[in-house]
Amino acid sequence: MTKNPSAIKLRSQRDKAEGFRALHHGRQILILPNAWDVPSARVFEDAGFPAVATSSAGLMVSLGYPDGQVISRDEYMSAVGRISRILSVPLSADLVAGFGTTPKEVLATVREVLKAGAIGINIEDFAHATKKLFPIETQVEKLKGIKKLGQTTGIPVVINARTDAFRFASGEEGARLKEAIRRATAYRDAGADCVYPMGLFDPASIRVFVQALDFPVNVMVRKGLPSVDELERLGVARVSFGPSASYAAMGLLKRAAQEVLETGTYESLIEGAITFDELNNLALPRRG
């Protein structure tokens, strides 16, 4: 199985951004875990991942909000900042749709991301409330603005441009795939560093998409997704956990709760668990 390279030990945001971008063009696929709080991010860093991303759903639910943009931008950025401060590796923040409807509002969000210490973003092209895709021209304008912002700040923001056309565009599957390719191509040409076709997981569709874009493509862990080795053969540059780690952690808690209530035993809580000292250390920057 392909493993990620060693974690990037870089100091400045610019260095982290450039190092993170380079991982999308390496000989090995980038495996990117999505954290939802400080300890989950530290677990991923300690495991040896070269970078960490936030999970919008995992992070928001951990703070008492459903996925989407119900949470305020300030509260979300506060959580991103806490995660960023604890990590030595690059952090990419999932911005959902950018916490704004206009390019100007989205740029304000990206500025806050940089202030929080992150160096990459994931941005969607649909509205959670309506499940409607944004006009492609509007999304392109946002991406061009973010690219320009990176140039003016000296921190080259790494943009993962997500399209949900395969989920929400009209027509049958083939038409939706074609629309996903059309949108991803426009986002690539607008300055994105990676494109993310949400909903694609079967090998045939992934192959068509990757060949059409000839550009770094991100897919998300889900049931039915090919193995890392197969994704690498298909030409995928990046595979992200998405909310799957949150699902797994909550699944473990459900099983542990059921075990205690139904059998009076504690194996699920004890087997493979970390210690008190290890838990405390997850609130501290990594040593070395």
Residues of the chain above pLDDT 90, percent: 94
259: in domain: no
Residue 93 pLDDT greater than 50, yes or no = yes
Look up the CATH number of the domain holding residue 89.
Answer: 3.20.20.60
What letter does residue 189 receive in the DSSP assignment?
H
Total-model pTM: 0.94
Strand extents, DSSP E, the chain: 30-32, 34-35, 52-54, 91-94, 120-123, 126-127, 132-133, 158-163, 194-197, 218-220, 238-240
250: in domain: no
Report the C-alpha gap between 35 and 110 in whole angstroms.
Answer: 19
In this predicted model, what pLDDT tens digit does every residue of 53-83 receive, in sequence order? Answer: 999 999 999 999 999 999 999 999 999 999 9
pLDDT value, residue 11: 76
The SS3 call for residue 187 is: helix
What letter does residue 169 receive in the DSSP assignment?
S
Mean pLDDT calculated for residue range 15-28: 97
pLDDT value, residue 269: 96
Residue 5 pLDDT greater than 60, yes or no = no
pLDDT value, residue 79: 98
pLDDT value, residue 9: 54
Of 40, 84, 51, nearest in space to 274 by CA: 40
Per the CB < 8 A criterion, the answer to whether 16 and 119 are in contact is yes
Range of the domain at 58: 13-242
192: in domain: yes
125: in domain: yes
pLDDT value, residue 10: 56
Residue that the structure tokens 């929080």 belong to:
116
Name the average pLDDT for the chain: 95
Mean pLDDT calculated for residue range 131-154: 96
215: in domain: yes
Domain count, the chain: 1
In the structure, what pLDDT confidence band is assigned to residue 6 with cuts at 50, 70 and 90? very low
pLDDT value, residue 288: 61
Rounded to whole angstroms, what are the CA distances from 129 to 69, 70, 159, 170, 183? 9, 10, 23, 17, 21
